[in-house]
Amino acid sequence: MIRRALCFPSFIRKSLLIPPVISPYSNSSSKIGAYNGYASQTSSLEVPDSAPYRENDEYADVDWDNLGFGLMPTDYMYVNKCGAGQHFGHGQLNPYGNIHLSPSAAVLNYGQGLFEGTKAYRKENGQLLLFRPEQNAIRMKSGAQRMCMEAPSVDQFVNALKQTALANKRWVPPPGKGSLYLRPLLIGSGAVLGLAPAPEYTFLIYASPVRNYFKEGSAPLNLYVEENFDRASRRGTGSVKTISNYAPVLMAQLRAKKNGFSDVLYLDSATKKNLEEVSSCNIFIAKGRCISTPGTNGTILAGITRKSVIELARDHGYEVEERAVAVDELMEADEVFCTGTAVGVAPVGAITYQNTRMEYKTGSGTICQELYNTLLGIQTGVIEDKKGWIIEID
């Protein structure tokens, strides 16, 4: 089915060539088949400023009540390229689809790549909200320095996120149903043969609607403390959101899942005595009114949710410590929870360490739930943002 995609704010309409878009989700019975045809779509069509707004374009044809976490491609992706030693200029919105890369692109051969993750929420009044996007921009910039890559400026990064969210507005779930996950990538797209930084970099953002992680009735996390695999080492890249940190955790994660766990909790590789983080989120433990989380000493990712939750918890009167947290402290904790863009603030119901299973308080009246409600409330515009964390973009 050919779909028109015209519900653009005028600043986007003026600057874009907008192609006819075939929605992979217009027919729920053949989603994958439709998607394959769509990926190679390249034709373009200029859309006049006076293009009429059509009511039924307000939302994409999605069953919002049954949204999951899988990739649901949307209409547009943002693309910007720059040569080594140069600065990024203007990017553009292209129809979502496959990208062309040389087989000898640095990202494919040597893993020269970074990714980010953030979400756009739809407020009750229809406005889109971004949560602390400049923090993702800053993290990408410092990661790029470590990985010898060019990076977009903070302004370019935030503007690109805004454009991507607005261009895909009809894919942003209705209030309360989830969010539009935005995935910025920075990759060494230029060709190299010997090990060296790429001669060209591509900054790209794509999007996918996702449900809120924590749904009524969803089970708390059940973690496994991993002692045979390390996630990061001292003076390595554990604190960088590089793509090369993620495939190496798959083996431990798959093994844990096969044994009925939700994910893996890593220890520090040097002593195996202290907690680090879960495969893709940070960890907190709570005892009484004291909350502790591993300090950011170079081996864990400094999560934006982590940083926000620390601030919110202090505002709520909790004592928060960023320090080395011994694995033995898991025995004494009342509560354990994880933080991250994907999970928000997620309760941990149980952790297994050296054949001992420890269980924690979850559900109503917990610190985890209090912080989750506050964070999500701010992110969705339900709670007033007194911190300047929210950017309204429509």
Q: Which residues bind ligand PLP (CB under 6 A)?
A: 117, 277, 280-282, 301, 303-306, 339-341
Classify 163 in phi/psi space as left (phi over 0), alpha (psi -120 to 50) or beta: alpha
Q: Which is nearer to ligand PLP, 112 or 280 (CB)?
A: 280
In whole angstroms, what is the distance from residue 267 CA to residue 276 CA?
Answer: 5
Residue 295 tokens read as 């300090």
Q: Which is nearer to ligand PLP, 93 or 144 (CB)?
A: 144
Smallest separation (angstroms) from ligand PLP to the CB of 206: 16
SS3 231: coil
Q: Is 307 a catalytic residue?
A: no
Residues 6 or more apart from 304 whose CB is under 8 A from it?
118, 131, 132, 135, 136, 139, 341
Angle (deg, nearest 10), helices 133-146 and 154-167: 130
Smallest separation (angstroms) from ligand PLP to the CB of 281: 5
In whole angstroms, what is the distance from residue 205 CA to residue 77 CA?
Answer: 6
Helix (H) / strand (E) element for 373: namely helix 367-379
Smallest separation (angstroms) from ligand PLP to the CB of 263: 11
Q: Which is nearer to ligand PLP, 213 or 360 (CB)?
A: 213
Q: Which is nearer to ligand PLP, 170 or 241 (CB)?
A: 241
- Name the active-site residue from 119, 162, 169, 241: 241
Residue linked to tokens 């309760």: 347
In whole angstroms, what is the distance from residue 62 CA to residue 36 CA?
Answer: 18
Smallest separation (angstroms) from ligand PLP to the CB of 244: 12
CB 189 within 8 A of CB 107: yes
Helix (H) / strand (E) element for 134: namely helix 133-146
CB 129 within 8 A of CB 379: yes
Smallest separation (angstroms) from ligand PLP to the CB of 343: 8
Q: Which is nearer to ligand PLP, 18 or 310 (CB)?
A: 310
- Give 2's strand partners: 22
- Give 356's strand partners: 353
Smallest separation (angstroms) from ligand PLP to the CB of 36: 28
Q: Which is nearer to ligand PLP, 75 or 263 (CB)?
A: 263
In whole angstroms, what is the distance from residue 218 CA to residue 43 CA?
Answer: 43
Helix (H) / strand (E) element for 329: namely none
In the complex, which residue's CB is closest to ligand PLP?
303
Q: Which is nearer to ligand PLP, 72 or 182 (CB)?
A: 182
In whole angstroms, what is the distance from residue 321 CA to residue 188 CA?
Answer: 38
Residue linked to tokens 């000493």: 297
Smallest separation (angstroms) from ligand PLP to the CB of 15: 30
- Cβ neighbours around 83 below 10 Å, total: 13
* Composition of the chain by helix, strand, coil, percent to 5: 25, 30, 45
Q: What is the set of active-site residues?
A: 241
